[in-house]
Amino acid sequence: MLTIADLRRQNLILFEAISGSRAYGTNLPHSDTDLKGVFILPKDYFFGLGYVPQVANETNDEVFYELRRFVELLLKNNPTVLELLGTPADCIIHQHPLFEQFQATDFLSKLCRQSFAEYAVAQIRKAKGLNKKINHPEPPARKSVLDFCYVTVGAGAQPIAAWLARNGYEAPQCGLTNVPHLTDLYALFVDVTPERRHGYRGLVRDPETSQDVLLSAVPKGEEPVAYLSFNRNGYSTYCRAFREYWEWVEKRNAERYQNTVQHGKNYDAKNMLHVFRLLQMAEEIAETGHLHVRRPNREFLLQIRRGEFEYEELVAEAEQLVERVETAFAASNLPATPNKEAGEELLRQVRQAFYSSSSAHS
């Protein structure tokens, strides 16, 4: 298995650069240093079965793309790899002479509307989702099936817990049977005999872990005292939201979350920074045909990161920017897609030249 150390030791790296906030000019003193780059597989890997599309370190803040994968992503106008071709000079660590043949202007196309702007829209949705999670956290105690069960009372309904308390019943003395042809509706029986001789099984097997109500055998002739409805769809939706919330809590970036809480605006400020960065880059690409990675409006983007704007204000402004991007691409002279044949030919030429040069020096 290839590692980044292997790439360096075998001189397989075509391009290596500092990426992320340091390239955009939005870095702060404590910002991480992300590295990205492009490498060429050793000849035996390439001609054998061991093709490796990318190599990364454990934290994924150092990522190198194999040349073929790099070109594939360029032809899709992937923002991450396109940005490598616009890396500011002060962020370039190493550039092989062969890599100079790759120019952003040869790959920019109207696909950037989708790859940049639609990715930004997804980030807006993500920010909205975080906003919802922060403002509507799930309580640590998980609801049970019984919290989604209601009993008919006259023309209305009551939660099962309230109904049991009101009538002086306990869940273990109850029994349920299916009502034919009616989904998730059950006849509710109560065993009022002192010794509970009917042997009803209760409403659920275990209130904390059960995923469904429990059915009982009911003696012939017994009459239901009420009907119970289990809101199964509501319970399923709740379970999914509960699981997603606590997965988010477990996996969230602690520093970014604390920053979100501290600035008090209840959105992921770094996420919203990238929304504006991507949309503004997309608008520039459509209007000028050029890619500008180092952002000219550092202070505005850092104001977003510091949480100096209201959430609704940012979302509204971002949505207006999306409309401007759509208009700009509709009027743009960029090709619909990059020239795939030219990209593939460049891939062949660079690989052959690299292998020839490597053979000459080996």
pLDDT (0 to 100) of residue 330: 95
Q: Which residues pair with 175 in a beta bridge?
A: 189
242 within a domain of the structure (yes/no): no
Q: Is the pLDDT of residue 195 over 60?
A: yes
pLDDT confidence band for 256 (50 / 70 / 90): very low
How confident is the model over 300-326, as pLDDT tens digits?
Answer: 999 988 888 888 888 899 989 999 999
Domain identity same for 30 and 118: no
Q: Is the pLDDT of residue 261 over 50?
A: no
DSSP assignment of 204-270: -S-TTT-SS-------TT---SEEEEE-HHHHHHHHHHHHHHHHHHHHS-HHHHHHHHHH-S-S-HH
Q: Mean pLDDT over residues 117-126, rounded?
A: 78
H/E stretch holding 331 reads: helix 311-331
Q: Mean pLDDT over residues 19-41, rounded?
A: 92
pLDDT (0 to 100) of residue 264: 45
Percentages (nearest 5) of helix, strand, coil residues in the chain: 50, 15, 35
Domain identity same for 91 and 130: no
Domain range enclosing 64: 1-102+338-362
225 within a domain of the structure (yes/no): yes
Helices (H) and strands (E) counted in the chain, each on its own, are 14, 10
Helix or strand or coil: residue 158? strand
Domain identity same for 329 and 343: no
Of 236, 267, 296, the position where a domain reaches its end is 236
Instruction: Compute the half-sphere exposure of residue 329: CA atoms within 13 Å on the CB side of its CA.
Output: 25
Greater confidence, 269 or 25?
25
Greater confidence, 186 or 124?
186
Domain identity same for 23 and 92: yes
Print burial letters for 341-361: b (CB count within 10 Å at least 16), e (below 16): eebeebbeebbeebbeeeeee
Instruction: Compute the half-sphere exposure of residue 306: CA atoms within 13 Å on the CB side of its CA.
Output: 10
Instruction: Compute the half-sphere exposure of residue 54: CA atoms within 13 Å on the CB side of its CA.
Output: 17
Q: Mean pLDDT over residues 16-22, rounded?
A: 95
Q: From CA 85, how far away is CA 12, in angstroms rounded?
A: 18
Q: Is the pLDDT of residue 291 over 50?
A: yes
Domain identity same for 3 and 97: yes
Its pTM stands at 0.64
Percent with pLDDT over 90 in the chain: 69
Domain identity same for 1 and 96: yes
Of 177, 206, 236, the position where a domain reaches its end is 236
Q: Quote the mean pLDDT of the chain.
A: 88
Task: Phi first, then psi: give them for residue 217, nearest 5 degrees.
Answer: -85, 130
Q: Is the pLDDT of residue 258 over 50?
A: no
Q: Is the pLDDT of residue 329 over 90?
A: yes
Task: Phi first, then psi: give them for residue 93, nearest 5 degrees.
Answer: -90, -40
Asked if 160 contacts 149 with a C-beta cutoff of 8 angstroms, the reply is: yes
Q: Mean pLDDT over residues 142-164, rounded?
A: 94
Helix or strand or coil: residue 15? strand
Q: Is the pLDDT of residue 131 over 80?
A: no
Q: Is the pLDDT of residue 138 over 70?
A: no
Pick from 160, 162, 184, 186: which is nearest to 175 by CA?
Answer: 186
The structural domain count of the chain equals 3
280 within a domain of the structure (yes/no): yes
How confident is the model over 33-77, as pLDDT tens digits?
Answer: 899 999 999 988 888 887 899 999 988 889 999 999 999 999 999
Domain identity same for 2 and 91: yes
Greater confidence, 32 or 253?
32
Of 204, 236, 268, the position where a domain reaches its end is 236
Q: Is the pLDDT of residue 17 over 70?
A: yes
pLDDT (0 to 100) of residue 139: 64
Domain identity same for 21 and 2: yes
Q: Is the pLDDT of residue 260 over 60?
A: no
Q: At what angle do helices 298-305 and 269-288 cross, to 10 degrees?
A: 150
Pick from 19, 24, 4, 45: which is nearest to 294 by CA?
Answer: 24
Strand residue runs (E) in the chain: 13-19, 34-39, 54-56, 62-66, 92-95, 149-153, 156-159, 174-178, 185-190, 226-230
Q: From CA 205, how far away is CA 202, in angstroms rounded?
A: 7
pLDDT (0 to 100) of residue 268: 72
243 within a domain of the structure (yes/no): no
Domain identity same for 112 and 258: yes
Greater confidence, 196 or 361?
196
pLDDT confidence band for 254 (50 / 70 / 90): low
Domain identity same for 131 and 263: yes
Domain identity same for 357 and 270: no
List the CATH number of the domain containing 354: 3.30.460
pLDDT (0 to 100) of residue 133: 52
161 within a domain of the structure (yes/no): yes
How confident is the model over 201-236, as pLDDT tens digits?
Answer: 999 999 888 999 999 999 999 999 999 999 999 999
Helix or strand or coil: residue 54? strand
2 within a domain of the structure (yes/no): yes
246 within a domain of the structure (yes/no): no
How confident is the model over 273-287, as pLDDT tens digits?
Answer: 889 999 999 999 999
264 within a domain of the structure (yes/no): yes
Domain identity same for 66 and 212: no
